[in-house]
Amino acid sequence: MNGFKEMPIDGQIFQGLTAVSDDADSLRATVDEAERSTVADRVDERIEKYTEAIDRNPTDPILYFKRGSLHCHRVALSYFSTEADAMIHSPAGPRDSQSEPVERSAEPPSADSAVPCGLALDDFNRAIALNSQYAIFFYMRGVLLTLEACPHRNLEAALADFDEALRLNPANGAFYQERAGVRMKLGQFNQAINDMDQAILIEPSNYYFLYEKGLIQERMGDHENAADSYMRALFLAPNDRMPFLITALKGVRQDSADVLLGDFTSLIAKRPAASSLYVQRAMLFADEEKWKEAIDDFSRALSLRGDDPNVLFSRGKIYFTAGKKQDAQQDFQTACRQHHTAACDYAKITQRDVARGERWVPFWYSRDRRQYFYDREYLKNQQKGFRLIRVRVESEEDANGPDYVPIRSERPGYTLQWWEFRCSTSRFRIAKIRRFDNGGRLVESYPEYEKNFRPVLVDSISGKLADIVCGVSGVGKATEKTDSSGR
């Protein structure tokens, strides 16, 4: 609904317009040279060429119109400085009319935009005065009058110009689209919807018209119909245009997982080759801890998109959370080779976990900021009621988490522990603890704790181990949570 997105500088919208002068070849050459200068940073040069042509033939309305359109583009360059810089320097050139819209806060017109806005308005007025039968003349003047950057902004006058453009050419969907935008700004929502319906009737395959209809419906608070419009737009949109449509759909669904899951399943049924849809559904599956379904969807997206580092990183995190460390490591390393910084960090962590082996399960990030692991293959019954568990402690040099604080202590470091528990239906006690250093030397030993009763503490390592060894419901789990990395 912003006129700038429909404003080309390469002459596309001017097809069929011909300078109606009877001047000699030199005038034609001047106009041709101006039209060949299609690069955005040559706008001033093109304006000079059209000015030269107008001086030679001051009664040609098309020359005024084309120069006015270039002045309009200068307004865009001064107002949307960030977007204009990307447009000037991008190898792909200016963004087309169906690029993702950028919401910007209203700002007062700047001096840089005021001058070209006035010059554009003068040129459009002159063109219309010379020939009022061109619908495009009224359309472009209407676009100019809707721009917040222009001090001559006048929505009522713009609406009148779009009315006249449609009277002259009622089969142009873009004219209905722009008039709908003005009507929405004026609060005429029902008329705006009618205009978008007409635009869609003229161009039923234009996904952007459906998107803008959804915007109006969303502004009206009609989220259900807005979602329907966004869904219809997603059925038609090219793959590279889907992200902002998906964002709009998720916004009106208010991130309702069940509804969105149904939406993306329906979209995939109609667009089975759209990788973005699989990525979105995979993230919903991941939120519900359906790891297999999430991995399957990420894998399908990768088969369609190739080794996309973002998708590889996302699938790697799901593998990691699901305990498939080797698969996660492969995805992280592949993404890292494509310069995905976060994937490189995860690859280091995962590589360390894989090196420990699948038998060592992370379960605690201790009070001294180190990670603990229990040996899933060494969990033995010593005798009736007694169970022994082997525990490894993360070495000091590996304890490099963001909250790691080295503990200054005279006690030697240790890497291996043996915990023995007495498990019964009524009491859970620590029986023995032995700790060893890197060289296998016994550092600490606390045997026969049963003689001097030592209870299991919920908010402690003993609480978590009792939960693992004795299957104590509520001990450890009630107050301790472990994330995907065991921290």
Tell me what the mean pLDDT of segment 170-186 comes to: 96
Q: Strand runs (DSSP E) across 38-149, as ranges? A: none
CA distance 410 to 178: 76
Sheet holding 360-365, edge to edge: 360-365, 371-383, 386-393, 416-423, 428-436, 442-446
The answer to whether residue 136 scores a pLDDT higher than 70 is yes
What integer pLDDT is reported at residue 29 of this predicted model? 58
Indicate if 374 and 456 belong to the same structural domain.
yes
For residue 70, being part of any structural domain is answered with yes
Q: Are residues 353 and 385 in the same domain?
A: no
* Domain containing residue 311: 256-358
More confident residue, 106 or 200: 200
The distance in angstroms from the start CA to the end CA of the chain is 49
* In a shared domain, residues 393 and 348: no
Q: Does residue 419 share a domain with residue 319?
A: no
Give me the mean pLDDT over the 110-134 stretch. Answer: 89
- DSSP secondary structure string, 105-119? ---PPPHHHHHHHHH
Residue 212 lies in a domain: no
Q: Using 50, 70 and 90 to split pLDDT, how confident is the model at 121? A: very high
Do 102 and 38 fall into the same domain? yes
pLDDT band of residue 262 (cuts 50, 70, 90) is very high
Residues 347, 393, single domain; the answer is no
pLDDT in tens, 143-152: 999 988 888 9
d(CA 168, CA 175): 11
397 and 316, same domain (yes or no): no
Lookup result for tokens 């060289």: 439
The more confidently predicted of residues 150 and 401 is: 150
Instruction: Say which residues have a Cβ less than 8 Å from residue 105's Cβ, sequence separation at least 6.
Output: none
Residue 23, pLDDT above cutoff 60: no
Report the DSSP pairing between strands 428-436 and 416-423.
Answer: antiparallel
**In a shared domain, residues 282 and 293:** yes
Q: How far apart are CA 122 and CA 146, in angstroms?
A: 16
446 domain residue, yes or no: yes
- Would you call 449 helix, strand, or coil by DSSP? coil
In a domain, 192, yes or no: no
Q: What is the pLDDT averaged over residues 449-468?
A: 61
pLDDT digits (tens, 9 = 90+) for 413-449: 566 777 777 666 555 566 677 777 767 777 777 665 5
Query: Where on the phi/psi map is residue 16: left (φ > 0), alpha (ψ -120 to 50), or beta?
Result: left
Q: Is residue 191 part of a domain?
A: no
What CATH number has the domain bearing residue 77? 1.25.40.10
59: in domain: yes
Looking at the fold, whether 104 and 84 belong to one and the same domain comes out as yes
Domain boundary among 291, 324, 358: 358
pLDDT for 35: 57
What is the model's pLDDT at position 476? 35
366 in the same domain as 318? no
- Length of the chain as a residue count: 487
Inside any domain, residue 236: no
- Residue 188 to residue 211: CA distance in whole angstroms: 18
Confidence of residue 78 (pLDDT cuts 50, 70, 90): low
Q: Does residue 390 lie within any of the structural domains?
A: yes
pLDDT(345) > 60: yes
Q: What is the pLDDT of residues 270-319, one digit of tens each?
A: 999 999 999 999 999 999 999 999 999 999 999 998 889 999 999 999 99
* Model pTM score: 0.65
- Percent of the chain with pLDDT strictly greater than 70: 64
Q: Are residues 353 and 447 in the same domain?
A: no
Q: What is the pLDDT of residues 208-229, one digit of tens each?
A: 999 999 999 999 999 999 999 9
Say if residue 78 is in the same domain as residue 96. yes
169, 193, 215: which is the final residue of a domain?
169
Look at the chain and report how many structural domains it folds into.
3
